[in-house]
Amino acid sequence: MPKDFLKGAADSCDVVVIGSGLGGLTAANILARDGLSVLLCEQHYKLGGLATWFKRPGGHIFDISLHGFPYGMVKSCRRYWSQEIADSIVQLHGVRFDNPMFSLTTTFDREDFTRLLTTDFGLELATVNNFFDAARSMNFYDDQTKTTRELFDEYFPGREDVIRLLMEPITYANGSTLEDPALTYGIVFSNFMSKGVFVFQGGTDKLIKSMEKEMKANGVDVRINCDVEKVNVNAKGIKSVVVNGRTIETKAVVSNSNLRATIFSLVGEDKFDKDFIDEAKAVRLNNSSTQVYMAMAPEDTVPRDTGDLLFSSTAERFQTELLLSRDITSRTFSFYYPDTRPAGKARTLIVSSTNANYADWVGMTKEEYETSKHDLVETTFDALEKYVPNCRERIVHAEAATPVTFEHYTKHVDGASFGTKFEGLTVSRSLPEQIPGLYHAGSCGIIMSGWLGTINYGVIVANDVINQLTDTSATSPIATT
Ligand SMILES: Cc1cc2nc3c(=O)[nH]c(=O)nc-3n(C[C@H](O)[C@H](O)[C@H](O)COP(=O)(O)OP(=O)(O)OC[C@H]3O[C@@H](n4cnc5c(N)ncnc54)[C@H](O)[C@@H]3O)c2cc1C
């Protein structure tokens, strides 16, 4: 008989959270802390969603999405998780850019960017200050028609080099493009510029284990290998979910699954108004990614000044399409030095990440797919050679992940790394108006993606659920920092 992963679970609860990405985990924690009975179902055998890691023989532990987040994580983790989690957040000091237009190292904060823009890039201090102030003052309720390119053209006309410095990391951080609304850029960029780039010391495994402990202490019933197949609704709203063939009654559902999957697969389009479905169909998915994971021999390492995060590109100019192309010219290398996991084995790991299109990787034969992955690893070695000489001989383990890998492990439609484009946020927020008790808390809309964005979105949605279940009608405003 297959193992019953729901053994001992109650037949009914206040809230079912579908998925254990950072948004789902945070929502579950807040809901349980507020005294609600919460069942968290994760289809994978591990919690964390895209905030995940894997181990390989030789003591190597690879992090998938631990490359950098803004300082706001400290406050969010302290408030919504624990002081202990917040205390493990540390700054990355070596953010490097290397491309045909410029090579530099920065702490990636306003002060250092102002220095670079006024010296190396020769801009007027007043222009730089005005740009920073404009970006910082943007909020969700602003004009959403101005694009990021228009914002740049207003302050830095004709300065492709400046645009590259300002945009390349954000495109990498959340898949946004020059054609997206300027406010999505302004909010995310300003979040980073407040103090720089931060990571979680101890690795994603330590973070997720600490979160699991905290959730369980607060009473969440946490279940892995539990695939929610269906969300049942009736005229009044949410009725139950079907998970691993079992029906569990619930008053509310927080879906951390992909927005499109939530609407079209878990609930079903016949349960929504036609206009809403038209709007939902028009929501664009964000792009996916490829990654190459590389481990140095245990006794080997790279000099610290190689950087922590290196935005490298061989493209003469910055173009969003090039960042997605199969013909890779831009790679972001994350260097994990032994102090990433001070309590673990001393290892140096390198992860190369590149934005990618799902369509370029799906539908291949097994052989073509393996060959393409092999090419990806080989071309990554070629690119890394400039920063880690003789890397082919020094790397003892290398493997690749593609959009198909991300889809496989998270069920994200088309392997989307950052959920949906900006328009997904409105659709996500209006779910409870369509079906009382149905909520979505997961990557969407650029500002609500990434580690900080999804944690904050989980909090917002948990508060909405609490308001609903305690019969107050107020809904939370969109918080963006
Ligand atoms: C390569 C890469 C690098 C990244 N780097 C960074 C970075 O450096 N900094 C940063 O801030 N962000 C980064 N991100 C983005 C960040 O990881 C995500 O935005 C964030 O982790 C997503 O959280 P989420 O709450 O939306 O849920 P997700 O992580 O998308 O998880 C959703 C969960 O739901 C589960 N699920 C889906 N359907 C079901 C179902 N039917 N039943 C049960 N469970 C289900 C999935 O298995 C999954 O665990 C990166 C992403 C990628 C792909």
Q: Are residues 398 and 301 located together in one domain of the fold?
A: yes
Q: Which residue in 405, 10, 354 sits closest to 168, CA to CA?
A: 354
Measured in Å, residue 325 CA sits from the centre of ligand 1 at: 22
Q: Are residues 170 and 238 located together in one domain of the fold?
A: no
112, 115, 116, 120 alpha-carbon torsion, rounded to 10°: -160
Model pLDDT for residues 18-54, shown as the tens digit of each residue: 999 999 999 999 999 999 999 999 999 999 999 999 9
Residue listed under structure tokens 């990806």: 376
Q: Are 92 and 201 in contact (CB under 8 A)?
A: no
Classify residue 105: in a domain, yes or no.
no
Model pLDDT for residues 270-284, shown as the tens digit of each residue: 999 999 999 999 999
CA distance 284 to 291: 23
Q: Among 42, 50, 404, which is best to mutate for testing ligand 1, by the most ligand atoms less than 8 A from CB?
A: 50
CA distance 139 to 452: 16
Classify residue 66: in a domain, yes or no.
yes
Classify residue 131: in a domain, yes or no.
yes
Classify residue 265: in a domain, yes or no.
yes
pLDDT of residue 474: 46
Measured in Å, residue 418 CA sits from the centre of ligand 1 at: 7
One DSSP character per residue, 10-47 reads: -SEEEEEEE--SHHHHHHHHHHHHTT--EEEE-SSSSS
pLDDT of residue 298: 94
Q: Are residues 342 and 273 located together in one domain of the fold?
A: no
CATH of the domain at 265: 3.50.50.60
Q: Are residues 164 and 214 located together in one domain of the fold?
A: no
Measured in Å, residue 48 CA sits from the centre of ligand 1 at: 7
Q: Are residues 318 and 394 located together in one domain of the fold?
A: yes
Classify residue 5: in a domain, yes or no.
no
CA distance 2 to 5: 9
Q: Are 189 and 145 in contact (CB under 8 A)?
A: no
Q: Are residues 238 and 383 located together in one domain of the fold?
A: no
Q: Enumerate long-range contacts of 157-166, CB under 8 Å, 24 or more apart.
A: 159/121, 159/123, 160/101, 160/317, 160/318, 161/101, 161/102, 161/121, 162/117, 162/121, 162/123, 163/318, 164/99, 164/101, 164/102, 164/317, 164/318, 165/97, 165/102, 165/113, 165/116, 165/117, 165/121
pLDDT bin (cut points 50, 70, 90) of residue 472 is: low
Closest Cα to atom 8 of ligand 1 = 67
Q: Which pair of structure tokens corresponds to residue 265?
A: 């697969």
Q: Are residues 275 and 366 located together in one domain of the fold?
A: no
CA distance 314 to 298: 30
Q: Quote the domain boundaries for residue 278.
A: 12-50+206-284+419-469
Average pLDDT of span 136-152: 86
Measured in Å, residue 53 CA sits from the centre of ligand 1 at: 12
Asked if residue 394 has pLDDT above 70, the reply is yes
pLDDT bin (cut points 50, 70, 90) of residue 334 is: very high
DSSP letter, residue 466: H
Measured in Å, residue 258 CA sits from the centre of ligand 1 at: 9
Looking at 133, 155, 190, which one is the last position of a domain?
A: 190
Model pLDDT for residues 108-129, shown as the tens digit of each residue: 999 999 999 999 999 999 999 9
Q: Where are the beta strands (DSSP E) in 349-394?
A: 349-356
Classify residue 343: in a domain, yes or no.
yes
Asked if residue 323 has pLDDT above 80, the reply is no
Burial 197-236 (b: 16+ CB within 10 A, else e): bbbbbbbbbbbbebbbebbeebebbbbebbebeebbbeee
CB-ligand 1 contact for 312 (6 Å cutoff): no
Q: How many domains does the chain have?
A: 3
Q: For residue 468, give every residue at least 6 positions away whose Cβ sits within 8 Å of its Cβ, in sequence order, or none.
A: 252, 432, 436, 437
Q: Are residues 140 and 246 located together in one domain of the fold?
A: no
CATH of the domain at 315: 3.90.660
CB-ligand 1 contact for 387 (6 Å cutoff): no
Classify residue 98: in a domain, yes or no.
no
User: What SS3 state is found at 99?
Assistant: coil
Q: Are residues 173 and 316 located together in one domain of the fold?
A: no
Q: Among 200, 207, 256, which is best to mutate for testing ligand 1, by the most ligand atoms less than 8 A from CB?
A: 256
Q: Are residues 296 and 405 located together in one domain of the fold?
A: yes
CA distance 209 to 459: 19
Q: Are 28 and 17 in contact (CB under 8 A)?
A: yes
Q: Are residues 294 and 366 located together in one domain of the fold?
A: yes
Q: Most distant CA pair in the chain: distance in Å?
A: 71
Measured in Å, residue 245 CA sits from the centre of ligand 1 at: 25
Classify residue 24: in a domain, yes or no.
yes
pLDDT of residue 203: 97
Model pLDDT for residues 208-246, shown as the tens digit of each residue: 999 999 999 999 999 999 999 999 999 999 999 999 999
CB-ligand 1 contact for 291 (6 Å cutoff): yes
CA 261, 267, 270, 275 torsion-angle sign: negative
Model pLDDT for residues 249-258, shown as the tens digit of each residue: 999 999 999 9
Q: Are residues 274 and 249 located together in one domain of the fold?
A: yes
